[in-house]
Amino acid sequence: MPVTDPVSMIAALVVIFSVAAVVWLMIAVGLRESPWGCASLAGANGLLALSFLLYDRAFIPPVLPAHAWWPDTLSLAAFGLVRLSVPLIGERPAPWRNTFAVAAGLPLVAALLGLGPETLSRMALLFGAMGGFAAFAALDAFRLLRWRSLRGSTAFTIALPLLVMAMLVWSRPLVAVLLPAHAANLDVRSPFNVAWLWASVVLALALNGWMAFLLLTKLVLQIRRLTERDPLTDALNRRALSQAMDVEHARQMRGHGYALVLLDMDRFKQLNDTLGHAAGDAALQALVAIASPCLREVDLLGRLGGEEFCALLPHTDIAGATLVAERMRAVLEALPFEWNGQVWSLTASFGVAESSGQDVSAAEVMRRADQALYRAKGQGRNVVQAVERVA
């Protein structure tokens, strides 16, 4: 393939997008992993392959008018599907209506206004929307990865190819304004077209590889979440909480204290015996749902087993942890639990302890919190008890 022949490079893009469309369709139908997201990517690659193919009007079916605006219209629809694919892969709500309105409405508006296929106004309208779709997809990817607990810098780096693609698309109308002599049709040999097509080849490969990486990242993070979370309540499991406590205790050695709040649901066995084990499971889920909003983003809530939970509060002293425990106790008491028409008052007892430089390990802090919880149970339940910090 001549490296400066636009027609050959367009043919290469048709092949790349066609192969990618088949691969994504196989993943959607065969593996059934994020099927709607993969199907959207298959459609996007298929439409992009068709749009580049139709730069040669000989490929336009005789039943369709041989308009030169077919490639841009199909490319806009393809970028709309790219916009939808990111939230769909992440199993998040996708903006179907807005995307469809833009993808279908803008070509219609351009036609009604009589904007020719080679006019700057049409190019700015359609290419601006394509770049906008890619930019919003990059933003969605960043948010999705942050929601999956990836660091901001890592999430931005992974989302960068979509942002680069947006800038590549926007470059065509921009060059048409600043350097009109270089803004020839895509199949005409010019320095800008050659550079633009080479960048498109690279980004076509990078984008599909990036989407595959995003899908793989999602699967890896799902597996990691399954290994760290309690399947019933979605709180951290005992092992994950223990690891987090060890990390926090290492910081304690550098002068950063923390506190633990142990909570144990009152009369849980009686609840199980009276309302059934399904009600007990629902009560544990309700406890986590009620207690979690009382914690900060940096705090962690884990299930130790049965009806016993532990909240890890970094950079918190005994007074602050006691306030958190009291808030959880009051909110839990104020929201009665209902099961099959029967109302049950959910309460819990709390033991609070603060770390100390004298503690050899986090287990020492946990032992003091457990002693405080035992005293709270002995005082009639639905009580917060704290132990003073070891000197």
Each residue's pLDDT tens digit, 76-130: 999 999 999 888 887 788 899 999 999 888 888 887 887 766 677 877 888 889 9
Tell me the pLDDT of the chain averaged across its residues: 84
Mean pLDDT for 345-349 is 91
Residues 6+ apart with CB under 8 A from 21: 42, 43, 45, 46, 49
pLDDT at 186: 64
C-alpha span between 82 and 136 (Å, rounded): 10
Q: How do residues 142-164 score in pLDDT, each as one tens digit?
A: 888 777 666 778 888 878 888 88
Which range is least confidently modeled, 128-132, 217-221, 383-387? 217-221
Res. 224: pLDDT tops 80: no
Res. 191: pLDDT tops 80: no
Angle at 117 between CA 111 and CA 123, to 5 degrees: 95
Res. 182: pLDDT tops 80: no
pLDDT at 98: 92
Q: How far is CA 43 from CA 82, 114, 389, in A?
A: 9, 29, 62
Strands, sheet with 384-386, edge to edge from the N-terminal-most edge strand: 300-305, 308-314, 258-265, 348-354, 384-386
- CA max distance for the chain: 89
C-alpha span between 296 and 293 (Å, rounded): 8
C-alpha span between 326 and 177 (Å, rounded): 64
Kind and range of the H or E element at 306? Answer: none
Res. 247: pLDDT tops 80: yes
Q: What are phi and psi of 338, to 5 degrees?
A: -120, 135
Query: In this prediction, what percent of the chain has a pLDDT beyond 90?
Result: 31
Torsion of CA 149, 152, 156, 157, to 10 degrees: -90
C-alpha span between 255 and 249 (Å, rounded): 10
Please, are residues 53 and 45 in contact by the beta-carbon 8 Å criterion?
no
Q: Which amino acid is at 163?
A: L
Res. 40: pLDDT tops 70: yes
Concatenating the DSSP letter of every residue in 265-301 gives: ETTHHHHHHHH-HHHHHHHHHHHHHHHGGGS-TT-EE
- Tell me the pairing of strands 348-354 and 384-386: parallel
Give CA 40 to chain center in angstroms.
17
pLDDT at 57: 55
Q: Which amino acid is at 271?
A: L
Which of residues 6 and 263 earns the better pLDDT score?
263
Residues 6+ apart with CB under 8 A from 93: 87
Q: How confident is the model at residue 181 (pLDDT cuts 50, 70, 90)?
A: low
Rg (CA), the chain: 29
Q: Where does the chain have alpha helices with state H?
A: 6-26, 35-53, 70-89, 96-112, 120-147, 152-178, 191-228, 238-252, 268-275, 277-291, 318-334, 362-378
Beta bridge partners of 303: 309
Beta bridge partners of 265: 348
